Structure 1
Amino acid sequence: MAMIIMKFLLLSLFLNLQVILSENMPTTASQEAGYGYGGEIGGFLRIDLYKFACPEAEAIIFSWVNKAVMEDSRMAASLLRLHFHDCFGCDASVLLDDTESFVGEKTAAPNLNSLRGFEIIDAIKAELESVCPQTVSCADILAIAARDSVLLSGGPGWDVQMGRKDSFTASKAAANNNIPGPNSTVPILIAKFQNLGLDLRNMVALSGAHTMGKARCSTFSARLQDTSIHSPLDFIESLQQLCSGSDSGTTLAHLDLVTPATFDNQYYVNLISGEGLLPSDQALITGDDRTRELVQTYANDLFTFFEDFKNSMLKMGNIGVATGIDGEIRTNCRTIN
């Protein structure tokens, strides 16, 4: 418990420092657009929303995320991924369970056998409901848990803007259509991100989340036949061996073989050496001069990657936000009230 309290105090100190620094820094273009530190986004989201309504909220979320990551380091990537897949519409729609009359997003192709960590969100929500009933939305829990997961894994921290409402429904079709697949080409990646208001720089920076986590053999099967000069033969052969068993459909590989549980810029270093796991990852270095230049920038400059990643997370966190009567604050993240 003492270690958890110490980590949260460090998080609080970090975020308070960010606020102090931001008050003394010139306004950036991203802040003018509503994506910087502090204040509001579009008049709806605020970093201090729960300061009085539920002052314990962030400490409770941090405690659960810390516990989960301590028990399973992969959970950091899983909680970050939950927020990513929800934020092609940040409204907690991805958390809704199917019912007899409703088919949600959990069984969509990008999510099925991929998303995990739902029980952590359930536990967080249960404690928040006991302390601050119907105050903290499931969508905000996802956003805060994603930030904490990155920070606990060695990555940057940022002030999470809050005030998202939870959706009344979900769309399996939208999840299938909007979330990029593991074999996406650069033009497809650019188009899917642009459709949601995210530019090329956001796309390459957010792809850096693949510096943590794992993927099934089925998601990178195209890499097993890669004989191009861009990928080392020993790397491809190691993947072929890993995925050669009869149970290869469930076999997992690290997205980053070098520092698999650390949030850093090793992902980009791997791409340059031809050791990106997913075809959509390796395409960033081979498929477009603009994305290759950004990959090289992030591989050489950890600070620039961290800055672009957290700014892109803030921007992504404002996609498809439900507010006012367009949403609710669920008492159970798996079902509407």
Structure 2
Amino acid sequence: MAKIKAGVLGATGAVGQRFIEGLRGHPWFELTSLAASDRSAGKKYREAAKWRLESELPDEFADMTVVRVDPKEVDADIVFSALPSDEAKKVEAEFAAAGFVVASNTATNRMVPDVPLLIPECNPDHIELIKIQKERRGWEGYITTNPNCTTIMFALTLKPLMQFGIESVHVASMQAVSGAGYEGVPSMAILDNIIPYIAGEEEKVETEAQKILGRFDGERIVPADFTVSASCHRVPVMDGHTEAVWVRMKDDPTPAEVRQAFLDFNPGLDDLPTSPRKAIIVRDEPDRPQPRLDRNAGRGMSVSVGRIRPGIRYICMGHNTIRGAAGASILNAELLHKKGLL
């Protein structure tokens, strides 16, 4: 079976590099196009990008010529967008109108009513929005999105708790510096320090989960009926967002019942290549999860939980540039392929 041609928009940045890493040797997708800014276009990828991942730059992509972020230059059926939000607003619509499937990691279209905000383990039925989106806009292609890297961690853990009637959620994040990009936080600002503010982050965290865990009524998403209150902080950790979560639920489950709900959670996505064996991993040690020890669980796609206490209070943690970014978009694309939408 022929593979689906895939491109990466914003291929030289940190998330773009994670897309390249995640698509290398993929059984369904073939990476055929790397697109970046005009200053990078025309160069070999190894010349345009400074590779910053621990893995080696794959030889098969190092000598690919970078093209401009233009539908006329990108040779692909699906594009994975790692563009800055201000650029994505115009560009992603142009690609969708030109017939491309856009799997976006950017914030621009997440809360647009006819754009699905997907976590395949939580809301696969929301892909039904795609038909509505194409009809309303007259596009040949369409846009899908994945959540903010902080939202995705706790929202995934909320899915098995929906059975208890979630009423409110409080979350305090301890976010890795890689979430801001290589040049996002100066070393002299973050070393020996915690920065208790990330511009725009709390607003995203406080709105996205309700859309993800909401109900598709045939025309739109009816948001989930609970509130989220967030406080977001940057900490001197390279990769892995850690979050302290407080959940108030109507049924007032015990910590043991919550732990069992996490253990029983089985989304049935074992046939998707990027899906981890366990979406949620329960750690019973009193000092886990920890970024350095747990961020690569499930090849970086699992979310680890621990310290489940009365209240209900717990800690969750996941890899922000894999589960929270590139890996999430690739998993979304795999779901689209499984549903016959690619």
* TM-score, shorter chain, exceeding 0.5: no
Task: Select the structure with the greater relative contact order (CA < 8 A; seq sep ≥ 6).
Answer: 1
Q: Which has the higher strand share?
A: 2
What TM-score does the superposition give when structure 1 sets the normalisation length? 0.31
